[in-house]
Amino acid sequence: MKRLKIGLLGLGQVGSGVYSILKSKGANLARKNGTAFVLEKIAVKHSIKKRAVHPNRKQLTTNTRSLVRDPKIDVVVELIGGIHPAKELILSALRSGKDVITANKALLAEHGRQIFGEAKRLKRHLFFEASVGGGIPVIKVVREGLVANQIRSIYSIINGTSNYILTKMSEEHLDFKEALKLAQKKGYAEADPRLDIEGIDAAHKLTILASLVFGGWVNFKDIYVRGISSIRSEDISFAEEFGYTIKLLAVAKKTADGIEAHVQPTLLPKSHVLSNVRGSYNAVLMQGDEVGDILLYGRGAGSKPTGSAVVSDLVDLARSVDSDHSFAPNLKPLKVRNISSLLSRYYLRLHVVDRPGVLAKISEVLGRQKISISDVIQKERRLGSVVPLILLTHGTQEHSLRRAVHAIDRLAVLKEKAQVLRIEE
Amino acid sequence: MKRLKIGLLGLGQVGSGVYSILKSKGANLARKNGTAFVLEKIAVKHSIKKRAVHPNRKQLTTNTRSLVRDPKIDVVVELIGGIHPAKELILSALRSGKDVITANKALLAEHGRQIFGEAKRLKRHLFFEASVGGGIPVIKVVREGLVANQIRSIYSIINGTSNYILTKMSEEHLDFKEALKLAQKKGYAEADPRLDIEGIDAAHKLTILASLVFGGWVNFKDIYVRGISSIRSEDISFAEEFGYTIKLLAVAKKTADGIEAHVQPTLLPKSHVLSNVRGSYNAVLMQGDEVGDILLYGRGAGSKPTGSAVVSDLVDLARSVDSDHSFAPNLKPLKVRNISSLLSRYYLRLHVVDRPGVLAKISEVLGRQKISISDVIQKERRLGSVVPLILLTHGTQEHSLRRAVHAIDRLAVLKEKAQVLRIEE
């Protein structure tokens, strides 16, 4: 039987998942695929530490640099995350003639052109199913299952932490801080949750997905990113009154003027298929020119779901070791449209002093930018006190809206800066 | 460049989809995959006929038997459907050394052991992505993306026609016949719709899917099948009052006592992810032991979606032509549990003469089988007239329920036979 000798970098959450799946199912996978999966070496920070899994001492090493150059190893599985030293280790592994499997979305998003380029040049395989959507085989589906399609658009919920927080805010009427604490308690959010709640993790994944389906490389820095930390429970309640939920939506579309790509909290109609994605689940909705709408839904994180994706890459690699097909995305840079030129409807939440003529004044400012109002809610009216005034606009370009909001924010009746959220239909 | 020479059997809806995708994207697919896809011959019933696509005369033949033995052809794509002559043609193609791609769920479900067995014996590839879920790459996902998982259960909506009819009945308050007519007008239902509305098509697909994921062959005849033709709009309204939708659900589970597999109209809570699958869409919800719940959703039929799945098989074949890995499911027969031993809650709709003591009498009959009632709706009460009485039961075995319903149907107050539907939570 063929043997695929694996060097594992990292034995944290995902690494432990991979380890335990190989331990419990390795023999069965070997029998079905004609390849034995041999965990040759595992690089860890501390060789003695309490862990969920217990490899034997001889498998463990703290020397990552020698692991990635070890001639006994065929494939390096990088699960340490972050940019450094993951980048140097992956490049070193590729240059030592090894194939690489990684779950590192930050690295692929920010240095993908260099890393994919190097893999291509060296004719090594670089697999990354676990980098987007955790256990959901979204990379396989877009690359193989939908190979006959040009993907026109991606609408996705690809950060489980943010979706968990927004779900708790909506269903249990928590405020943002309470929901974040709950997420941390449940292990869904890191001690430093910024990558998740500021939308950066979702933008990393969107970079990879968009670069894969639009036939060129999307620069991570060109993606407009805004997280969920400014969302208040009142925004969620007002959105609900209008028939919407608020989701951290990662969107990419191919248009005649370039790629549209952004991550931001967005109002979605309750009847939209993504509105029902609750808790820490992820979902990716794509439109293919042949297949139409297709949705993939599942666990976007966690030890075993993500481990399941890494192991599927190992099996794919075992099947394609002899092929020189490197499956690299096209690395030619794509033009991403500036967010200011995009057309959308908007939700505005203003805290104003309730005084006659306030709505007229605000409508006038919007009117100057040719923005018309489709819906209004004005609550708890008490003359002279500060009350929320909620407006939904008709479609307008972002730059017109920004100009109007800038003017509105300077009105004397405004008691705090306006909240502005995009609406998708 | 390598060339994959294709013989196409059938140029109907799916065949035309494949033809037009290869025509518009063949060059691009060839460039990306290093293989030219050459449509060598197309077998049709009538060589002169009005069609959506226009192959040149030389490609067309009416001689299916010589096509499947033509030494110039590498792969036969069977898209004529039905059992005969599709079966004989596929076997002949395999025996002539060709790989085969098919969308024929009826054939694979009813004769899969023979056909997969023959492909395995002859070391030929047999691909069938389009046979389940149309454009949704469900076969690829379970076989490759979820390779690290044991699938524990499948809950699916895999007949678009039935789902379209039930959606129209629910949303536009049509009765079954009106909704069926509408489906026929829209092209979602055949002139003879029995395969779809009687649940047989869904059971065919469930046979294939269950056989693939449970590690042995499920006999199509062992699957309990009931279609939607007995569903009335009143059933849909009553179900809604209790917070349920009615869906034609195809379910398969692995249990300690064998496989559970059935297709039947089923009450599902409105909050269930499958309740929101509307119109002609399909969805497959699976539970893997590592990945947890995963859902795939998309177009389950149609020329281009199904064509997209066939073309993805062609690309996969081009990549694996040199491998002797035939990917056949395990053909050892699996024990399927008799439906009568399964436990479930039930919905009962009785038309009874409204008379004092009716509910007591019916409860007594149910009580004799140790079935207890969880919910009751009794409407339009007018002493002496016939009124609907709706009961939801607690969990009970199907055979107890059948015995109770048999007794209830013979009560003098019953004006027509009871409607019995399973409830899934």
Question: CATH number for the domain including A47?
Answer: 3.40.50.720
Q: Check pLDDT > 80 for residue B106.
A: yes
| Contact check, Cβ <8 Å, A288/B308 | yes
Nearest alpha carbon to residue A124 among A318, A321, A329: A321
Q: Which of B285, B320, B355 is the last residue of a domain?
A: B320
CB A15 within 8 A of CB A130: no
Close Cβ partners of A357 (under 8 Å, ≥ 6 residues apart): none
Q: Check pLDDT > 70 for residue B246.
A: yes
Whether residue A145 sits in one domain with residue A95: no
Instruction: Answer yes or no: is A175 within a domain.
Output: yes
| Contact check, Cβ <8 Å, A295/B291 | no
C-alpha span between A86 and A76 (Å, rounded): 11
Instruction: Answer yes or no: is B259 within a domain.
Output: yes
Per-residue pLDDT of chain A (425 residues; tens, 9 = 90+): 899 999 999 999 999 999 999 999 999 999 988 999 999 999 999 877 888 899 999 999 999 999 999 999 999 999 999 999 999 999 999 999 999 999 999 999 999 999 999 999 999 999 999 999 999 999 999 999 999 999 999 999 999 999 999 999 999 999 999 999 999 999 888 888 999 999 999 999 999 999 999 999 999 999 999 999 999 999 999 999 999 999 999 999 999 999 999 999 999 999 899 999 999 999 999 999 999 999 999 999 999 999 999 999 999 999 886 665 556 789 999 999 999 999 999 999 999 999 889 999 999 999 999 999 999 998 777 788 999 999 999 999 999 999 999 999 999 999 999 999 999 99
> How many CA atoms within 13 Å lie on the side-chain side of B82?
5
Would an 8 Å CB–CB cutoff place B13 in contact with chain A?
Answer: no
Q: Which of B290, B320, B350 is the last residue of a domain?
A: B320
The confidence score (pLDDT) of residue A324 equals: 58
H/E stretch holding B205 reads helix B200-213
C-alpha span between A8 and B4 (Å, rounded): 38
Chain A residues with CB inside 8 Å of B307's CB?
148, 290
| Contact check, Cβ <8 Å, B315/A148 | yes
The confidence score (pLDDT) of residue A382 equals: 78
Cβ atoms within 10 Å, residue A74: 20
Q: Which of A258, A289, A320 is the last residue of a domain?
A: A320
Instruction: Answer yes or no: is A325 within a domain.
Output: no
B367: domain CATH number is 3.30.70.260
pLDDT tens digits, B146-177: 999 999 999 999 999 999 999 999 999 999 99
Positions of E strands within A136-290: 151-157, 224-225, 244-255, 258-269, 281-288
Chain B residues with CB inside 8 Å of A148's CB?
21, 25, 29, 307-308, 311-312, 315
- Where residue B328 falls (left for φ over 0; alpha for ψ -120 to 50; beta otherwise) is beta
Nearest alpha carbon to residue A196 among A163, A168, A159, A246: A159
Q: Where are the alpha helices (DSSP H) in B242-344?
A: 303-320
Instruction: Answer yes or no: is A401 within a domain.
Output: yes
pLDDT tier for residue B326 given thresholds of 50, 70 and 90: low
Number of domains in chain A: 3
Close Cβ partners of B270 (under 8 Å, ≥ 6 residues apart): B240, B243, B244, B245
Question: Measured between CA atoms, how close is A278 to chain B, in angstroms?
Answer: 10
Q: What is the DSSP letter of A281?
A: E
> How many CA atoms within 13 Å lie on the side-chain side of A125?
22
pTM greater than the 0.90 cutoff: yes
Q: Check pLDDT > 90 for residue B319.
A: no
Instruction: Answer yes or no: is B193 within a domain.
Output: yes
C-alpha span between A190 and A196 (Å, rounded): 8
Q: Which residues pair with A268 in a beta bridge?
A: A245
What separation in angstroms does the CA of A168 have from each of A157, A263, A267, A274, A280?
15, 20, 16, 16, 10
| Contact check, Cβ <8 Å, B315/A147 | yes
Whether residue A68 sits in one domain with residue A112: yes
> How many CA atoms within 13 Å lie on the side-chain side of A238?
22
The confidence score (pLDDT) of residue B381 equals: 73
The confidence score (pLDDT) of residue A8 equals: 98
C-alpha span between A6 and A18 (Å, rounded): 11
C-alpha span between A393 and A422 (Å, rounded): 10
Chain A residues with CB inside 8 Å of B288's CB?
135, 308
| Contact check, Cβ <8 Å, B308/A17 | no
Nearest alpha carbon to residue A149 among A349, A288, A338: A288
Chain A residues with CB inside 8 Å of B292's CB?
135, 298-299, 302, 304-305
The confidence score (pLDDT) of residue B383 equals: 80
Average pLDDT, chain B: 95
Question: Measured between CA atoms, how close is A399 to chain B, in angstroms?
Answer: 36
Chain B 29-48, residues with CB within 8 Å of chain A CB atoms: 29, 33-34
Positions of E strands within B270-315: 281-288, 292-299
CA A421 to chain centre: 19
Whether residue A313 sits in one domain with residue A213: no
CA angle B116, B121, B127 (to 5 degrees): 35
The range of the structural domain enclosing residue B75 comes to 2-133+304-320
Closest residue in A to B26 (Cα) is: A148
Whether residue B352 sits in one domain with residue B294: no
Chain A residues with CB inside 8 Å of B304's CB?
290-292
Q: What is the DSSP letter of A134?
A: T
pLDDT tens digits, B17-70: 999 999 999 999 999 889 999 999 999 998 778 888 999 999 999 999 999 999
The confidence score (pLDDT) of residue A52 equals: 86
Omega before A85 within 30 of 0, i.e. cis: yes
Q: Which residues pair with A392 in a beta bridge?
A: A347, A375
Whether residue B239 sits in one domain with residue B205: yes
Whether residue B253 sits in one domain with residue B127: no
Would an 8 Å CB–CB cutoff place A311 in contact with chain B?
Answer: yes
Whether residue A272 sits in one domain with residue A150: yes
Q: Which residue has the tokens 């869906």?
A: B247
Chain B residues with CB inside 8 Å of A298's CB?
291-295
The confidence score (pLDDT) of residue A322 equals: 61
| Contact check, Cβ <8 Å, A298/B298 | no
- Give the nearest partner residue to A136 out of B144, B294, B323, using CB atoms: B294
CB B163 within 8 A of CB B277: yes
Residue A226 backbone dihedrals phi, psi, to 5 degrees: -145, 135
Nearest alpha carbon to residue A193 among A145, A218, A153, A159: A159
ipTM: 0.95
Chain A residues with CB inside 8 Å of B135's CB?
288, 290-292, 294
- Where residue B88 falls (left for φ over 0; alpha for ψ -120 to 50; beta otherwise) is alpha
Chain B residues with CB inside 8 Å of A317's CB?
none
Whether residue A102 sits in one domain with residue A176: no
Instruction: Answer yes or no: is B360 within a domain.
Output: yes
Whether residue B190 sits in one domain with residue B108: no
CB A30 within 8 A of CB A317: no
Q: How many CB pairs under 8 A join A and B?
A: 153
Q: How many residues does chain B have?
A: 425
Instruction: Answer yes or no: is A208 within a domain.
Output: yes
C-alpha span between A241 and A171 (Å, rounded): 14
Question: Residue B279 is encoded by which pair of tokens?
Answer: 């119109």
Instruction: Answer yes or no: is A329 within a domain.
Output: no
Chain A 320-349, residues with CB within 8 Å of chain B CB atoms: 320, 323, 325
The confidence score (pLDDT) of residue B69 equals: 98
CA angle A168, A420, A278 (to 5 degrees): 25
Whether residue B316 sits in one domain with residue B221: no
The full DSSP string for A51-117 is: -SS---GGGEES-HHHHTT-TT-SEEEE-S-SSTTHHHHHHHHHHTT-EEEE--HHHHHHHHHHHHH
Q: Which of B98, B105, B168, B205 is catalytic?
A: B205
Q: Which of A105, A168, A205, A247 is catalytic?
A: A205
Whether residue B147 sits in one domain with residue B72: no
**Annotation marks residue A205 as catalytic:** yes
Whether residue A127 sits in one domain with residue A95: yes
Would an 8 Å CB–CB cutoff place B307 in contact with chain A?
Answer: yes
Residue B134 backbone dihedrals phi, psi, to 5 degrees: 50, -115
Would an 8 Å CB–CB cutoff place A86 in contact with chain B?
Answer: no
Question: Residue A127 is encoded by which pair of tokens?
Answer: 């697999």
More confident residue, B322 or A270: A270
The confidence score (pLDDT) of residue B224 equals: 98
pLDDT tier for residue B13 given thresholds of 50, 70 and 90: very high
- Give the nearest partner residue to A145 out of B137, B147, B325, using CB atoms: B137
| Contact check, Cβ <8 Å, B315/A149 | no
Query: Treating both helix axes as pointing N-terminal to C-terminal, what angle do A200-213 and A105-121 enclose, rounded to 10 degrees?
Result: 30
CB B359 within 8 A of CB B392: no
H/E stretch holding A419 reads strand A419-423
The confidence score (pLDDT) of residue B322 equals: 61
| Contact check, Cβ <8 Å, A140/B136 | no
Would an 8 Å CB–CB cutoff place B147 in contact with chain A?
Answer: yes
